[in-house]
Structure 1
């Protein structure tokens, strides 16, 4: 579950569980608002010899780095495990699993929630059934289901599409995460009652999807004849001796180990147990020690200590690319993110819930695996930087990159920079329902610089500068990350070497963030000014012992105008109140129980339209009522503001009847 991406605070001017290997993504399982997820590592081209990776040096290095990261980021704790050459090299805990009770993090007994890293168990289960001939990766998933997935593009969705996040599903957040077991839906019910609209033809565009992974888990259940949670326990956890791991939510009574509490920051009260409704996409509870067993099995051609979950051929197939990608770009490998960092092949998967944040990466060529989970989001989302720095630091210390030659920039860079510059929307987005407004206002802007470089946003915040080293191939200055401009079905598209699960697409002019944010700001500012101006004017006239001198008709028109302004502001204010929980990633609010609220607000769009009609009529009528020129100009501005509210309502999908968001 990738949580950040569905909704960063900037997007929330007024979600989302990412998506991927190294960056946060409101998969919220919260999605993101968008930024997109990263593949494990950059596209390094060379390798150098680093320090010898042994337990003593690694422990000392972690001791010098982790405690400071936890303290400065206000993160409660972390567990980590590292395996090498078929054995556990290190398992260690830092900080606290329970701040109030001062319980330390223990890699053997502290249960953590690794979010989207859970997907690797689902994909392993799928590959087991592929090996048995019960699942065909290229067969329509509808052949395995008791309900139908839309084929509106005339092409079926296959299991391979699900593994590669290329089924074409739109993002969704409703009922994804909950806290009350009595109200939680089963995965089957969620899949059937919350079908995701298809934004893209299957296979055409990557768009990270928790729904798609949950669908794969449901197929495992139907094909195997066992409940999904039972299947994984019997065929993966139990054979590997992962006795502290389960997909069951909440934890069964008497389950071994002790759940590490999850925190926003170490100084805040702990979160309730997060119920991930798309369970196969992110509901595992496990320990660092158990994850050592899982890593060893994948590094050991499907087996560890005589326990086998995959044969060698299926393991090799699973780790190989399951789609194509440009040279040097990350690619999906049957559910793994596959890329290179510092010249080494890396496969893995990150994961985020609201409060737990995880990284698991394998270096097959070196026989090394690393897993770690932070149990807090941290101050100002500090965990995302800490997570990236920990893995990058590990790689730079033990598997550093060889010095790379700096490729010269192209002579056509200045002109090419103008071509790639623009505003883009993520392919992992919501286009139906009120959450569309958030994606509408939050877009990624690539800027052309006078020297021929470009500036682009980074997934973890901030911006980076890129130089053109090949035709519309832009390399990050001081790094290996690469952006490439291409076209998909005639749409200008930017792909990222570190993100195989989403792309940036140029949207239509009507969905321009600059345009719509400008309309929203103008409308709100004008309406607030109008609201304040009327009582202020009345007070000034009273102080001067003067009257407005208005005719009865003019007073009626002003009263109508005031009523329209109040209606429009109440309309926008009500939507803002509904969106506010998302600003603090309180995704559990958005569930079926509030459908009546969402429906009522959608219907209230008729009042906003009526207010705009009144505003326009008042502006037309005022000249005939003897209003002053200033009053007439003011009325036109107010009318435009009221029309702006309607525009935002229509383009932002607030004025629609859609409870599937």
Structure 2
């Protein structure tokens, strides 16, 4: 099996993107599974090959004990919890490692709350479908009819709830105040939505772009249409009926849960991090135990039924699990908020989730009546958790539902060689920031498609995987279920990965290419630093040998101004480096209003590189026209190019976007 791209990542998947048996605390209420056990789901016959292990608690424990003990230690991950359900019953649940490393408090599937990140979205989408079922909400209506503020217009028509559920509202990514660790600074979802409205950078319905803002909008609509605060609604209409007594969307975490919540870690060998509060709460703020998540999986595997309770009518649940976004055959797609796609010949629906420190995945195999949930509480050494989570899912599927083997691919089409050459180049994700200073990161870090000599294509980040063009625009990996579809959307060459329905890769124009702009930026910095080092050295040498600079009037003014503006450019770039520190240090609570004064100063400071362009060109023009030495003339041209380079990258990278929203 190849890598699944529908485990979200970036930074925050709410996606962006994987021992010790804990003892239950008898003084705490336990999850109530009795009703769920009373009415088992009907699943397909379990037809296994002779060598396939039986999916039962004993085999799960033996496999997971071996996997988790090694993975946690090698990845420097503090702990994890797992739960598995089958045929309407909890089958297995266990904690591994520690929820508090210093105090040696173990992870416990029944008691320990973990942050499930974007897996929270499934609760929001379930609430949306409840309102659809009640006739209060139309999936195809303009969401502005349900809001007390207006989503900005863009071509392509109004944004609908269906667009939000498939991440096709066209919204730009946003990071400002998305995460807060100081309870005194926490803001409501309503305030977040109104204060940090995201621009729409794509026509509605055309380009998938994963959006926490869009899901938060949906949660706010649930609140407005139901007349209940979102947290109350989820507790009354989903958590209560499912006996999820140790789960909550509330932030800060209610006092009754605080003694049992897992701490979050960069790695197990480092100190714990502060509790993450998500301002786009319906998109990723839930805390839950693995046992409670088992109840949620059971309800969805039984088409909304949990014991004698029902959170969705069967027909509503069946609608929810149906694909709701356009997709190529065999590609993972969106099914009313669920990711839905094939693995090992089985259809899985589910959702991954990442906060900064917690990393979660939940998958259901409806035809088998099986669901599995895992959550880790650390990023791990070199971000090892992403590989751990991926291997957990792959290992589960390969062990209990092994691939029967892929059919041989047809040979490449005749035009494959030329098509590969046409595809080669730089690509960026449709999930990005285009209108603010963080565009610089998306400008300097892009995916590279390579045309191989044999007519296949590869990504520079995965050189061992080659895709063969088996039909016009369809590229397949002979060794896995992975595939790419190439199309042109609004004039942009676009690559869709079969495992990622929430963002496309779009061809980058040369002016915004990472290769070109990295060369310009770092080349300009090198030239400016060289000039600034040479400036005092040349002064010292002239003084030592009793020589003069030999410049007067405007030549001297241009020379000195060009050097001063080089100093100004370096201070300007250093200021932006400081503004980006929350990203480099994984401290996203630094992207808040406290950063605004620095951003405002830097935006005003854009005059420095702009003036530098004029002065640098003026100095070069004067020098080239003079009778100075050829090296002085070449240097002045090079220095002018460096000053122009800084201004160019600042413009292309969004540093001259005069907005405090990002």
TM-score, L = length of structure 1: 0.92
Counterpart Cα distance in 2 of 1:255 and 1:395: 33
Q: 1:164 aligns with which of 163, 166, 190?
A: 166
Name the residue aligned to 1:251. Answer: 253
Find out whether 1:441 has 2:447 as its counterpart: no
Displacement of 1:472 after TM fit? 2.4
Counterpart Cα distance in 2 of 1:289 and 1:182: 32
Counterpart Cα distance in 2 of 1:624 and 1:203: 57
Find out whether 1:78 has 2:73 as its counterpart: no
Of stretches 500-509 and 209-218 in structure 1, the one that deviates more from structure 2 is 500-509
Find out whether 1:500 has 2:485 as its counterpart: no
Of stretches 393-402 and 533-542 in structure 1, the one that deviates more from structure 2 is 533-542
Counterpart Cα distance in 2 of 1:92 and 1:133: 40
Find out whether 1:473 has 2:458 as its counterpart: no
Name the residue aligned to 1:16. Answer: none
Name the residue aligned to 2:455. Answer: 452
Find out whether 1:323 has 2:325 as its counterpart: yes
Name the residue aligned to 1:547. Answer: 547
Q: Are residues 256 and 572 of structure 1, via their aligned partners in 2, closer, same or farther at CA, if it must alter by over 3 Å? A: closer
Name the residue aligned to 1:417. Answer: 420
Counterpart Cα distance in 2 of 1:168 and 1:404: 35
Displacement of 1:355 after TM fit? 0.2
Name the residue aligned to 1:66. Answer: 68
Contact 1:168 1:198 in 2 (8 A): yes
Contact 2:156 2:205 in 1 (8 A): no
Displacement of 1:429 after TM fit? 0.8
The SS at the match of 1:537 is helix
Name the residue aligned to 2:145. Answer: 143
Displacement of 1:552 after TM fit? 4.0
Name the residue aligned to 1:276. Answer: 278
Name the residue aligned to 1:652. Answer: 653
- CA-based RMSD of the aligned residues comes to 1.8
Displacement of 1:539 after TM fit? 4.4
Displacement of 1:470 after TM fit? 2.2
Q: Are residues 324 and 561 of structure 1, via their aligned partners in 2, closer, same or farther at CA, if it must alter by over 3 Å? A: closer
Displacement of 1:536 after TM fit? 3.1
Give 1:119-134 correspondences, 5 Å limit: 119-134=121-136
Name the residue aligned to 1:25. Answer: 10
Q: 1:432 aligns with which of 435, 453, 474?
A: 435
Spell out, residue by residue over 1:318-361, the C-alpha distance to the aligned partner (whole angstroms, 9 max, x if none).
11111221101111000000001000010000000000000000
Displacement of 1:308 after TM fit? 1.3
Spell out, residue by residue over 1:205-231, the C-alpha distance to the aligned partner (whole angstroms, 9 max, x if none).
110000000000000000000000100
Displacement of 1:600 after TM fit? 1.0
Contact 1:329 1:497 in 2 (8 A): yes
Displacement of 1:541 after TM fit? 4.9
Contact 1:491 1:505 in 2 (8 A): yes
Name the residue aligned to 1:287. Answer: 289
Contact 1:20 1:337 in 2 (8 A): no
Displacement of 1:510 after TM fit? 2.0
The SS at the match of 2:568 is helix
The SS at the match of 1:534 is helix
Of stretches 183-192 and 251-260 in structure 1, the one that deviates more from structure 2 is 251-260
Q: Are residues 20 and 453 of structure 1, via their aligned partners in 2, closer, same or farther at CA, if it must alter by over 3 Å? A: closer
Displacement of 1:626 after TM fit? 4.3
Give 1:107-506 correspondences, 5 Å limit: 107-153=109-155, 155-255=157-257, 258-412=260-414, 413-456=416-459, 464-506=465-507
Displacement of 1:524 after TM fit? 0.9
Of stretches 363-372 and 400-409 in structure 1, the one that deviates more from structure 2 is 400-409
Contact 2:8 2:354 in 1 (8 A): no
Displacement of 1:555 after TM fit? 4.9
Spell out, residue by residue over 1:146-195, the C-alpha distance to the aligned partner (whole angstroms, 9 max, x if none).
01111221511000000000011111111101111211221101111111
Q: Tell me which of the two structures has the higher relative contact order, counting C-alpha pairs closer than 8 angstroms and 6 or more residues apart.
A: 1
Contact 1:330 1:340 in 2 (8 A): yes
Of stretches 614-623 and 524-533 in structure 1, the one that deviates more from structure 2 is 614-623
Counterpart Cα distance in 2 of 1:325 and 1:578: 39
The SS at the match of 2:350 is strand
Counterpart Cα distance in 2 of 1:184 and 1:494: 39
Contact 1:358 1:374 in 2 (8 A): yes
Q: How many residues align?
A: 626
Displacement of 1:509 after TM fit? 2.8
